[in-house]
Amino acid sequence: MIPAWVDGVLTPVEKLAAHQRGLRHKAVSVFVIRNRTEVLIQQRAMCKYHTPGLWANTCCTHPEWDESPDKCARRRLNEELGISRIFPSHRGQVEYRADVGNGLIEHELVEVYLAHAPQGMTFTPNPDEVMATRWIDFYDLKAEVSRHPDRFTPWLSIYLERHSAMIFGALSNA
């Protein structure tokens, strides 16, 4: 069950039902960076019920009904990528609505986080969640998303096009 608004009231709703009905719901997205300009992105597993095989930010999810966004961000980094002992900092809140295929809509109110990878950080992606990962320079990522938007999740495109300054600060202006 995820927190979603039904008739203006925050209510526990099954995740698939929230996407089928296009309900506005809570979400968390995390970007992990290293060496000041490299962003860790993931390719979503083919078994995901929407946007399988597309590249996305480091991790994203929906908080459990009574879970704080901070705790959710740390939990999901560990569940998806086996990353622990980093503490993402809250960068702000974003709302977006996007068609993610097969009649499903993501209408999310997202708490966005940024974390810096410590030197030598290792991780082990969960194959049920992630089929590949890569580090990519922030500027190369923006260019690639612009050239090939069909290879990326709609939310990653939205974050980079509309919210780079909030998420990445001075990096987005250089």
Domains delineated in the chain = 2-166 (3.90.79.10)
Tell me whether residue 60 is one of the annotated catalytic residues: yes
pTM, whole model, 2 decimals?
0.95
Q: Is the dihedral of CA 100, 30, 18, 132 positive or negative?
A: positive
pLDDT of residue 174: 52
Out of 59, 80, 106, 108, which one is annotated catalytic? Answer: 108
Tell me whether residue 108 is one of the annotated catalytic residues: yes
pLDDT of residue 172: 65
- Per-residue pLDDT tens digits of the chain, which is 174 residues long: 999 999 999 999 999 999 999 999 999 999 999 998 999 999 999 999 999 999 999 999 999 999 999 999 999 999 999 999 899 999 999 999 999 999 999 999 999 999 999 989 999 999 999 999 999 999 999 999 999 999 999 999 999 999 999 999 877 665
Question: 33: closest CA among 126, 136, 166?
Answer: 136
Tokens representing 92 are 């702000």
Out of 60, 72, 106, 111, which one is annotated catalytic? Answer: 60
pLDDT of residue 2: 94
Tokens representing 71 are 């705790």
Rounded distance between C-alpha atoms, residue 2 and residue 17, angstroms: 10
